[in-house]
Amino acid sequence: MNNVIFDALAEAARKGEAVTLGIISGVKGSSPQKIGAKALFYADGRIKGTMGGGCLEAEIQQRAIQSLRTGKASTFDLLLDHDFGWDDGLICGGRVFGLILPNAQKTEEAFWKQLGARQNTNSWGVTKEFVIGSVSDAASASWIYQETVTPRCALWIAGAGHIAQAVAPLAAQLDFSVSIFDDRPALVNHEFFPAETNLHSEIWEKLLAMPLPETPAFGLIVTRGHRHDALVLKDWIHKPFLFLGMIGSSRKARTIFAHFREEGIATEEELKRVVCPVGIKIRSQSVPEIAVSIMAQFIDKRAELVHERRVAPTSKFELVGASLT
Spatial separation of the C-alpha atoms in residues 107 and 132, rounded to whole Å: 7
Indicate whether 262 pLDDT > 90: yes
* pLDDT over threshold 50, residue 320: no
Residue 323: pLDDT over 90:
no
pLDDT, position 311:
37
- The C-alpha atoms of residue 108 and residue 146 are separated, in whole angstroms, by 18
The pair phi, psi for residue 168, each rounded to 5°, is -55, -50
8 Å CB contact between 251 and 277: no
| Residue of 302, 300, 292 lying closest to 166 (CA atoms) | 292
| Band (93; pLDDT cuts 50, 70, 90) | low
Helix (H, G, I), strand (E, B) or coil at 230: helix
Contacts of residue 269, Cβ cutoff 8 Å, sequence gap at least 6? none
Residue 34's pLDDT is 81
Residue that wins the pLDDT comparison between 39 and 91 = 39
pLDDT band at 321 (very low <50, low <70, confident <90, very high): very low
Cα gap 177→199, rounded to integer Å? 11
- What's this model's pTM, rounded to 2 decimal places? 0.77
Report the 10 Å Cβ neighbour count for 45: 8
Give the integer Cα–Cα distance in Å for 35 and 151. Answer: 19
Contact 35, 24 (CB under 8 A): yes
